[in-house]
Amino acid sequence: MSRFLVIAYILVIVAGCRKNEFVSDDRYALLNITPVVNKDEATIAHQQSYIDLFKIGIQVTNSNGTELYFPYTKNLLLSNSDKWVLSKPVCLSIINAKIYAYYPFTEIEENLTGLGETAIVRLNIPKEQVMASQRDYMYASQSTYLPSGGGPIFYANPNVTLQLNHALSLISFVIFKEDFSGPGELSNIEITDNSNLSGLTINALAGDKLSMRLADGTIINGSASSNISVNSVENSITETIDPGVDEVQLKTMVNGYMYVVPSVFSDRGNVQFSLTIDNKVYTISHTGEGELEWIKGYQYIYKLRLTATALTIVGIIITDWDVNYSGEIILK
């Protein structure tokens, strides 16, 4: 599109804004959005330094999230090419706005339904995935121009810093070898829940599709699955001593990981991990007793010891995805 056509298009948007909202000439401004990853929830794959590669879905509504700001603001694309740009410009008026967002962007109309507080986007979390191809689903719901402490979004505050949050839990494994002579090639990770009703969730086998609410990141629908797995991990276990409990260091030593729908397990003893190492499957049960919960936005680091005969859980660290949360938690 030529520069002249772009300018003409923006003028049409501005003119439409004036006409529809009955505002004076000096009470309008184009919406400008700069996304950031929640600093308390940076993932292995998607930290702030990667955000320029994101394709983000944007919905702009009134401040109550009950009506679209304009008829075309249901599903705009926010992408970066030297700077962040919306697929269509949005002219803000005296009316306060609210921004709902999700990642990754979908242009398929049926994948995004509802408006504002009722908007949901379909997810794709199959029973089996390639580890590197997993999707890190994110969301935002914001009525201020900053994540917190800012004023309302309208013509006087058109520059918005939009905070993206994680909707999934991150289950990761740090493994060290002790009296193990093999190369330690990790190829597959499987999580199993042997409960009568599993706490693991995947794409719906029937009924309503697995979806995420843009308002709060809650994941709904889908089907329970007794197990989920990632393959093609393609990682070599090289550590030969216990790496300790420093969370920052452990996050750089992860051998394999899995994004899962936030889960509640009635009996943690029914949760099992099966890891294929050097073409041999090692199965271990979750330690401890009672209920187990995997919460969205948290990373669960399972530190494992691999010996010639067994794989055991040495410790479990629960942390925000980028900020230290606690020391080692050993469930006895």
**In this predicted model, what pLDDT tens digit does every residue of 100-115 receive, in sequence order?**
999 999 999 999 999 9
Mean pLDDT of the chain: 88
Torsion, CA 226, CA 232, CA 238, CA 241, rounded to 10:
-10
Phi, psi of 84 (to 5 degrees): -80, 130
The pTM of this model reads 0.86
Residue 49 pLDDT exceeds 90:
no
> In this structure, are residues 103 and 128 in contact, taking their beta carbons and an 8 Å threshold?
no
Length of the chain measured in residues: 332
> In this structure, are residues 256 and 172 in contact, taking their beta carbons and an 8 Å threshold?
yes
Residue 320 pLDDT exceeds 90:
no
Q: State residue 201's pLDDT score.
A: 97
Tokens describing residue 303: 């530190």
H-helix or E-strand spanning residue 128? strand 128-130
CATH for 3-166, among 2.40.30.40, 1.10.357.140, 2.60.40.2620, 1.20.1090.10? 2.60.40.2620
For 137-171, what is each residue's pLDDT tens digit?
A: 999 999 999 998 899 999 999 999 999 999 999 99
Q: State residue 42's pLDDT score.
A: 44
> CA 182 to CA 84: how far, in whole Å?
48
The proportion of the chain whose per-residue pLDDT surpasses 70, expressed as a percent, equals 86
Quick check: helix, strand or coil at residue 8? helix
Same-fold call for 3-166 versus 169-320: yes
For 72-125, what is each residue's pLDDT tens digit?
A: 999 999 999 889 999 999 999 999 999 999 999 999 999 999 999 999 999 999
Degrees to nearest 5, angle at CA 259 with 50 and 267: 150
Radius of gyration of the chain, Cα coordinates, nearest whole angstrom: 23
Q: State residue 231's pLDDT score.
A: 97
Q: State residue 17's pLDDT score.
A: 57
Sign (positive or negative) of CA dihedral 191, 197, 203, 205: positive
pLDDT, greater one: 266 or 323: 266
Q: Which residues of 217-250 are buried (b: 16+ CB within 10 A; e: fewer)?
A: bebebbbebebbbbeebebebeeeeeeebebeeb
Residue for token digits 């680091």?
301
Residues 6+ apart with CB under 8 A from 301: 172, 173, 174, 247, 250, 251, 254, 316, 317, 318, 319
**Distance, first Cα to last Cα, the chain:** 64
For 204-246, what is each residue's pLDDT tens digit?
A: 998 899 999 999 999 999 999 999 999 999 999 999 999 999 9
- Residues forming beta bridges with residue 263, ordered by sequence position: 294
pLDDT, greater one: 14 or 304: 304
Q: Please state, as a whole number, how many other Cβ atoms lie within 10 Å of the Cβ of residue 82.
A: 6
> CA 100 to CA 59: how far, in whole Å?
5
Domain positions in the chain are 3-166, 169-320
Q: Which residues of 296-330 are buried (b: 16+ CB within 10 A; e: fewer)?
A: bbbbbbbbbbbeeeebebbbbbbbbbbeeeeebee
According to the CATH classification, is domain 169-320 in 1.10.3210.10?
no
Residues 6+ apart with CB under 8 A from 49: none
Q: State residue 331's pLDDT score.
A: 25
H-helix or E-strand spanning residue 187? strand 185-193
